[in-house]
Structure 1
């Protein structure tokens, strides 16, 4: 297999002047194109912030956006709200907040994004885009991105929005007819793109959002650093793109400093029904559609990525590829997740619900791994220093011998109601108090304390 980061080689008619494809050779997952006019980046060295406390300056401004607003308004009150989020985004300064009220926010004309965020906050003054309390705004698009963060932007938080793609307007037959058309945003668009290829993007929080029905990726993180993806619901993405996309993906993470501690966080997300129906252009077959993937961090944008990535307390189910997938990556902890009946794509059978391949320094502990009959529940291929242990597998599971841990449990996990998406444990579950004490993980999928009893429970939920 050839592993690298190249650009799409197509006829001149498909060359896009503003978009990098980010295609990678080999078994991997990339994200759909980013198509926006680029501006000159401002790339400053930022001090390391506290991820627990985000303060604002005393001169911070709150802008309001409403589906019934007007961009000629001041945007300073609910009664004088802007109509577009972009209008507010063009005005923000460090510490500002954008509160978004009910309404649908769509791309217009030839715009490549509904919202393109290019203005940065500071370590002690993040810029926040939030749903107005009690409101449920929707960003709906048929272009390259619902929300794009690029050009060196930093200290940005996106909280409580719904981003909806174009899948409802696409048929599989149409998507297959476009399987070599890299310039079609209707099939290749991504919901939320964090794109640091042009200039380092870092310190980004994506929290409590609903991300769905994008033909390309759900949440795509390319060549970035210090990104937190927490408590999002990500579903029905990656269906129609030619780029082999997934629900949540990290590709070629970038070092913005020498910190070797946790810098990337994928926690408490519910990720389901993300899969590929269209072959990846460089392989000509179905390769991805994973729930969560960390891809090619060994080949980071400026050298092998040195920071650690924590993937914890996620629920991944009925995705086309793996529930959680690490390919040619390192320094990853996959802890206390629940992976259930992934590998729905018939073309994919060997990688498993949890997979690590060509990777190094990966720990896979305390996960419930419930597989499809006849397919591997896990897989460990061409790895170094990758450890599986304290995981629970159902009776009859096909377990890769290289991925078997001394403290694994073979038993029915006893979910409350898995067919209807309830993966909490019954009080008699063998997963209770049988996990490894993972000191860095203090809460579960619901935000409840870990451990609740004498030891950690296995899986995304802590019961007692």
Structure 2
């Protein structure tokens, strides 16, 4: 009898057979969504029916929304997968669907065990005039048209046991969003890989960036990488509208890991450059309903954020021509920044190329760091235990140096603003070739090419 009970329990708790759902620009939400011929029209319809293990195949078409209220998105993903049954959202084979948000967000995720693959989220920057965005920034209520985010994982309103975790964004394009590109708020176990993130954050009033993680919320204390940002091309993300709480331009970084340390009664600096203090009760946010770069004003019972003990990996990325830094951490612990190439960042706010700020236990190795004319390689503000070595930069600096650093021109094949046209590989004879260190070795480069290829590992994002 006991055996029969456990057998019944097994069948009761196991995931139902996975389904494949179809969405297409020629579909209808009156369809059943179970075949290409009976595809849904909207992504939200699929989001409302998916179960653990399901796959959503998205066909050609433009997907948008008419919901521009607080929290409005083209698709809001609220149903979670399971550890052995993730939910996958991806472009159908040979298809190139495009998500065009007009409200606060393109893809909003408040769920776990999700994969998003091969999708394009394209905002409305090309249709926005800067003078209109500047005028709107003075209005008390923000217009989402000037603040639209691309992909946003948002755990801020969830209870501690319901924060989003375990998600992958792979081979996606996030471009021309007036707000942030890819943002993770109070999430754990997030991988962002092989994506192109460019021309975002131009018109928002909240100081966003290309890729941002804020307030990682620990799912567990397991060792290893909880956050992985690898093999991405990130360029020309910048802010042109002042952050409304300080009245001046801020952020616009390529890649930013923001605040994993414990909150304090006196939060101090609240923007990554450490040059502004915002009162908690005055803070606002990128989505119109809670803050991003400051401590939230309580609107419901607040829970203390658990100490985040996982590690983050930022590896094999190219980050160029962003308004803020190429890559940096602010009030963040346990980060490995390995084999990246940054080039001519600080175009708007003048941040350094690649640096840790008020951070702890950060390892920075094997990077190529090329600042713009008069720009700076790095900085070192109130950091603890930063390991810096095997980095290459074109002009000598004394802020952070390692015994194996090289001061040399890396000699790129073709450096350009547009990374879809540039070639940041190294010409023969470059000092960055075969001269990297073996600490925290990356198995492949940005293109998936195996490391090493020659007598040693190359520095930067590419292995020749």
Is TM more than 0.5 here?
yes
Contact 1:121 1:127 in 2 (8 A): yes
2:82 maps to 122
Within 1, Cα distance between the matches of 2:176 and 2:463? 31
Within 5 Å, which residues of 2 pair with 1:275-294? Answer: 275-294=238-257
Give 1:328's match in structure 2, choosing from 326, 331, 341.
Answer: 331
C-alpha deviations, 1:416-437, integer Å up to 9, x for none?
1112411011122111111111
Cα distance, 1:456 vs. partner?
1.4
Listed as ranges, the matches of 1:404-415 within 5 Å are: 404-415=401-412
Check conservation: 2:341, 2:367, Cα contact below 8 A.
yes
* Distance (whole Å) between structure 2 residues aligned to residue 88 and residue 116 of structure 1: 10
Q: Are 1:217 and 2:180 matched, yes or no?
A: yes
Deviation at 1:267, TM superposition (A): 0.4
Alpha-carbon deviation of 1:440? 5.0
Q: Does 1:184 align with 2:181?
A: no
Distance in 1 (CA, whole Å) between partners of 2:116 and 2:157 is 21
1:194-236 Cα shifts (integer Å, max 9, x gaps): 0111221100101100001111100010110000000110000
Indicate the residue corresponding to 2:165 in structure 1. Answer: 202
Q: What runs of 5+ residues in structure 1 fail to find an aligned partner? A: 1-55
Show the counterpart of 1:263.
Answer: 226
- Specify the SS of the correspondent of 1:304: coil
1:242 aligned residue: 205
What is residue 319 of structure 1 aligned with on the other side?
A: 322
Task: Specify the alignment match of 2:65 in structure 1.
Answer: 107
Aligned position for 1:308: 311
Q: Aligned equivalents of 2:101 and 2:120: distance in 1?
A: 11
- Segment of structure 1 superposing worse, 206-215 or 426-435: 426-435
Normalising by structure 2, we get a TM-score of 0.84
Structure 2 unaligned regions, length at least 5: 1-13, 264-303
Corresponding residue SS for 2:399: helix
Match of 2:5 in 1: none
> Contact between 1:223 and 1:254, CA under 8 Å: does it hold in 2?
yes
Please state whether the residue corresponding to 1:378 is helix, strand or coil.
Answer: coil
Q: 1:284 and 1:304 mapped to 2: Cα distance?
A: 32
Q: How far off is 1:398 after superposition?
A: 5.9
**Does the Cα contact within 8 Å between 1:196 and 1:222 map onto a contact in 2?**
yes
Note the aligned Cα RMSD (angstroms): 1.5
Q: Distance in 2 between matches of 1:439 and 1:276?
A: 34
The match for 1:148 is 108
Change (3 A) 1:447 1:438: farther
Residue 425 (structure 2) aligns with:
424
What are the superposed Cα offsets for residues 362-407 of structure 1, whole Å, 9 maximum, x if unpaired? 011000001111111211211111122100111xx263x2311111
Q: Taking structure 1 as reference, are residues 173 and 292 closer, same or farther at Cα in structure 2, changes over 3 Å only?
A: same
- Deviating above 4 A after TM superposition, structure 1's stretches of 4 or more consecutive aligned residues are none
Once the two structures are superposed, residues 288-317 of structure 1 have per-residue CA deviations (whole angstroms, 9 ceiling, x without a partner) of 100000011113761332110000000000
Structure 1's 385 and 439: CA in aligned 2 closer, same or farther, altered over 3 A? closer
Aligned counterparts of 2:396 and 2:376: Cα–Cα separation in 1: 5
Shift of 1:57: 6.2
- 1:108, distance to aligned residue in structure 2 (A): 2.0
CA distance, structure 2, for counterparts of residue 219 and residue 393 of structure 1: 28
**1:387 counterpart = 2:395:** no
Give 1:58 deviation, angstroms: 7.3
Count how many residue pairs are aligned between Structure 1 and Structure 2. 400
* Alignment-derived partner of residue 31 in structure 1: none
Q: Is the 2:68–2:104 contact (alpha carbons within 8 Å) kept by the matching residues of 1?
A: no
Distance 1:92 1:440, change over 3 A: farther
2-side partners of 1:177 and 1:89: how far apart? 36
What's the TM-score once normalised by structure 1's chain length?
0.84
Pairs within 5 Å for 1:440-455: 440-455=441-456
